[in-house]
A = this chain, B = another copy of it.
Amino acid sequence: MARMTPQDRREAIVDAALAVARRKGLAATTVRDVAAEMGTSSGLIHHYFDSMDEVLAAAFERVAGEDLRQTEILLDQAGGPHELIRAFLASYAPVGDDWAFQLWLDAWAEAARRPVLREASSRLNLAWAALLERAIRAGVRDGTFSCSDPTAAAWRILSLIDGLALQVVAHQTIVDRRDMLQWAATAAERELGLPAGDLAVT
């Protein structure tokens, strides 16, 4: 295969790992899968990463970080606080049998036993909460929202979405995406002192 610079190759490996993880899940992604996806040999991967664990950790971090950055951009473009929260809900909530969210499930389960993964997942979760908290504080400052404890509110909204999304992705039939969005919006309205239906999705 074409010779690449170390940086490009590392990125290509992570890209390929993600493409596989999207199909089979993080836990089931193997060295050979990734090599086949890239169209190279498996030995190449160990030339750039000491272990498969590192590849998976890098892959997870890339997805989660990318989602986060994209949402940050989305929020920057949002007009008022309402639109901002609505955009946040829509962008955080998984779509269909979302493979990215399955990645989160894998990460949370493995976090207890894999320190590197725990650190990454922990840091990213914190960033999401901080992002939401900032949005809430902005709304409180300009008087659109009323919320006595933005930190607690952010964690509650985030955790509620996590919990609902978990049902959608892991169990599929019990709760559907429509319910999830509707219920999350209702909870957010209460947290932010908004009239019912103010954040409703159409």
B106 and A171 contact, CB distance less than 8 A: no
User: A190 CB to closest chain B CB, in angstroms?
Assistant: 5
> Are A159 and B163 touching (Cβ within 8 A)?
yes
Given contacts A155-B179, A159-B163, A163-B158, contact A170 B112 (CB under 8 A): yes
Contact of A190 among B122, B158, B190 (CB under 8 A): B190
A135 interface residue (CB < 8 Å to B):
no
Structural contact, A112 and B102, CB atoms closer than 8 A: yes
Among the listed B155, B164, B169, which residue makes an inter-chain contact with A159, where contact means beta carbons less than 8 Å apart? B164
At the interface, yes or no: A90 with Cβ under 8 Å from chain B? Answer: no
Copies of this chain present: 2
List of B residues within 8 angstroms of A138 by Cβ: none
A171 is contacted by which of B111, B160, B169 (Cβ under 8 Å)? Answer: B111
Closest to A103 in B: B109
A175 within 8 A of B: yes
Number of interface residues of A (CB under 8 A): 44
Q: Which residues of B sit under 8 angstroms from A108, Cβ to Cβ?
A: 105, 109, 166, 170
Q: Known: A105-B109, A112-B25. Contact between A155 and B183, CB under 8 A?
A: yes
Residues of B within 8 A of A167 (CB): 125, 155, 159
CB of A42 within 8 Å of the partner chain: no
Query: With A105-B109, A163-B161 in contact, do A122 and B171 touch (Cβ < 8 Å)?
Result: yes
Q: Is the CB of B163 within 8 A of A112?
A: no
CA distance A134 to B152 in the complex (A): 28
Q: Which residues of A come within 8 Å of B, CB atoms? A: 24-25, 27-28, 97, 102, 105-106, 108-113, 118, 121-122, 125-126, 129, 152, 155-156, 158-164, 166-167, 169-171, 173-175, 179, 182-183, 186-187, 190
